[in-house]
Structure 1
Amino acid sequence: MLDKRVELNCEEEERREKKRDKEPFDSLYHCGSLLGSGGFGSVFCGQRLSDGLQVAIKQVPSDRVQQWTRLPGEARPVPMEIAMLLRLGGGVAGQEGGGIIRLLDWFEVSGRGFLLVLERPPYCQDLFDFITERGALPEGLARRILCQIVEALRFVHSHGVVHRDIKDENILLDTRTLEVKIIDFGSSALLKDTPYTEYEGTHVYSPPEWVEGQCYEAGSLTVWSLGVLLFDMVCGDIPFETDREIVAATPSYTRRISKECQSLIGWCLSYQPEDRPTLEQMASHPWMEGGGETEEEISTLPNQSL
């Protein structure tokens, strides 16, 4: 059984204690226009005043926080999202875990709730908008994106965290480099070996066992969501809209898809959780090892920015 406490090492604790003595948010950052909003809060563009760094600022009202936890050196509880991002080390660019959005800073501000200062990579677009604009993606491009997501999630799970809301809107794609960042850990939780009985993710990405029995396990939930996401990428839309369709677990293909790709999707979308692959098995599936996209596929990607 994995420890349910969020523990930070001594070096991190020291850093946290120093951090709490910093200046107020408005002295360090400028908060700009709204980028988007959802059930857990709103995200604004922002700028770090010391060096002009472009950042994203996520505002989470205290009454929308679903899970709380405590951090060393903090008198008051904080949203689980902050603890999980700290546990992941922010996904430092260029190192293992680089596929995770980095938490640069955070504040609790009276009347505004919690403000999370996150990295804002240039030329990025979320995968939902990317697919909406371009339609179904070539398999080579979908493979390149999915391979990065799977590796990032393996890193997340290895650090005792489960995201619980993997979907196209929570994947940022750099349209120049095709590098991926997983965002929005508002539904995340500590990884455990026993079933979960609460779910704050997106319903059309949820598995049959949640729809029918209101419980699921971390690994099988994640893999089911990845099956939905892969179908979404190669067909241009999600496979299921209703509970009946989710429970039937039989996607209807709207485009010509390779047998290898259909094989992986079908495996991930197995009705029985135990019949689904692990993340490691996904990574070694023949379709995942089929090579990168063609030069023609890359050349069709125009630069986009947030």
Structure 2
Amino acid sequence: QTNKQKKPFRYFSRVTKSISACVSVALFAEKYQQVNKLGEGGFGSVYAGYRKSDCFPVSLYNVFFTKKRKIGLNINGLKKDIPIEALLMLQASIKKNSDGKSAVVSLLNKYDLEHEIVLVMERPVPSVDLFTYITRCRIGALPECEAKNIMKQLVVAAINMHAVDVFHRDLKQENILLEATSGVPRVRIIDFGSIHFDFVYLCAGTLCYAPPEYVLRRTYSAGPTTVWHLGALLFDVFLKPIVPYVACRILVTLKSECEDFLWKCLNLDPEKRATLEQMQQHPWLPRSESYSIYVYSLSHTIDQNKS
């Protein structure tokens, strides 16, 4: 990416189609059932739930009006304050993979209630986040065959998000889900509180994954930063605990292609760092997915996570 900023919200006409008008709490409760709490962030709480009409699993992100970044939009002649996160999620999911699906967890709808906004999001079931998968399923590093399949999907997802001017600034293990639908592990990306439209900005997200150019100059750009994040993530799944950008010696045996891929991502000079497109074409990544290698392991970990 260059240092030229891109015009934000170029896809408003497409993303606003999923935005609902104001509804009462009672009407919302007729459509969705809230169950257990999944987590909490700086802007609200996330709950597991389901759509009552067909029991479709959803996540309900309750955002307090006073705590969320919003932008005023004129939709069908009405002025509406829309959380930036909602717009980003909608825009990020525009670009699909070759199978017609998006790696981004979809925003299904957004409701204005009396004192809060509720973002209704897809909830991949069954799934587990990458951190939990590695922690509960492994002693040591993630096997290379699994890492390359996960990395391939992440690279494609990042390319698709950048193609619609969306930059996820916090690609880490906790924000990556592995979904085991029909026995086919699929990478899903969550937590869009740190993503942004601008391609040059101040740091946000997990500081330990910040690229060296931020440490030195306090600014960085989308393309090289995303590549660094993915390289640091790959390093993380092979070695833990990890501080990605410190000089250290790899203590595991990597194939030469894997090592080449890793260090091209972690080049200290952002101008010499690999691009996402170069990562996608690197010989280390599989030409076709070999999902069956870790289907059982993933399903077993998801079952453990339920108990």
TM bucket normalised to smaller: 0.7 to 0.9
- 23-32 or 46-55, larger mean C-alpha shift: 23-32
Corresponding residue number in structure 1 for 2:60: 57
Matched, 1:180 2:187: yes
Aligned to 2:21: 20
The 3-state SS of whatever aligns with 1:31 is strand
**1:41 match:** 44
Query: Aligned partners of 2:189 and 2:170: how far apart in 1?
Result: 10
Q: In the TM superposition, what whole-angstrom CA distance separates every residue of 1:155-176 from its partner, at most 9, and x where no partner exists?
A: 1110111111111111110243
Q: 1:80 to 1:251 in 2, by over 3 A?
A: farther
Task: Report the TM-score, using the length of structure 2 for normalisation.
Answer: 0.84
Which structure carries more strand by proportion?
2
Mapped to 2, the partners of 1:187 and 1:86 lie a distance apart of: 15
| 1:215 and 2:216 correspond | no
Partner of 2:239: 235
Tell me which amino acid in the other structure corresponds to 1:269.
L
- Whether the 8 Å CA contact 1:36–1:44 is kept in 2: the answer is yes
CA distance in 1, matches of 2:63, 2:264: 36
Tell me, yes or no, if the aligned pair for 2:111 and 2:117 is still in contact at 8 Å: yes
> Do structure 1's residue 171 and structure 2's residue 176 form an aligned pair?
yes
Give the AA of the match of 1:37: E
Distance in 2 (alpha carbons) for counterparts of 1:186 and 1:230: 23
Q: Distance in 2 between matches of 1:114 and 1:21?
A: 9
Matched, 1:117 2:120: yes
The letter for the 2-side match of 1:140 is: C
2:153 to 148, 164, 177: 148
Tell me the amino acid that sits aligned with residue 171 of structure 2.
I
Give unmatched runs, 5+ long, in structure 1.
241-245
Paired residue secondary structure (1:256):
coil
Aligned residue for 2:165? 160
Distance 2:299 2:223 in 1: 35
Q: Find the counterpart in structure 1 of residue 130 from structure 2.
A: 127
Q: Show the counterpart of 1:81.
A: 85
Q: Once superposed, what is the RMSD of the aligned Cα atoms?
A: 2.7
Single out whichever of 219-228 and 24-33 deviates more from structure 2: 24-33
Instruction: List runs of 5+ in structure 2 lacking aligned partners.
Output: none
Distance 1:180 1:207 in 2: 23
Which residue matches 1:99? 103
SS at 2:79 equivalent: coil
Counterparts of 2:297 and 2:93, CA distance in 1: 35
- Equivalenced residues, count: 291
Q: Give, in angstroms, the shift of residue 264 of structure 1.
A: 1.5
Q: Secondary structure at 2:220's aligned position in 1? A: coil
Counterpart contact for 1:6–1:83, Cα < 8 Å: no
Question: Contact conserved, 1:141 with 1:292, CA < 8 A, in 2?
Answer: no
Asked if the contact 1:100–1:181 (Cα under 8 Å) also holds between the matched residues in 2, the reply is: yes
Contact 2:21 2:112 in 1 (8 A): no
Letter in 2 for 1:27: E
Offset at residue 234 of structure 1 (A): 2.4
Q: Aligned letter for 1:57?
A: L
TM-score for both structures, normalised by structure 1? 0.84
Determine the structure 2 residue equivalent to 1:68: 70
Residues 119-162 of structure 1: per-residue CA shift (max 9 Å, x gap): 11111000110111123211111111110111111111101111
Deviation digits for residues 65-87 of structure 1, max 9, x if unmatched? 2x432334152432211111222
Name the structure 2 match of 1:302. Answer: 299
User: Are positions 1:268 and 2:241 aligned together?
Assistant: no
Cα deviation, 1:238-275, whole Å, max 9, x if unaligned, reads 343xxxxx3x4x34323222222122111111111112
Deviation (angstroms), 1:103: 0.4
Query: Using the alignment, how far apart are the partners of 1:20 and 1:108 within structure 2?
Result: 7
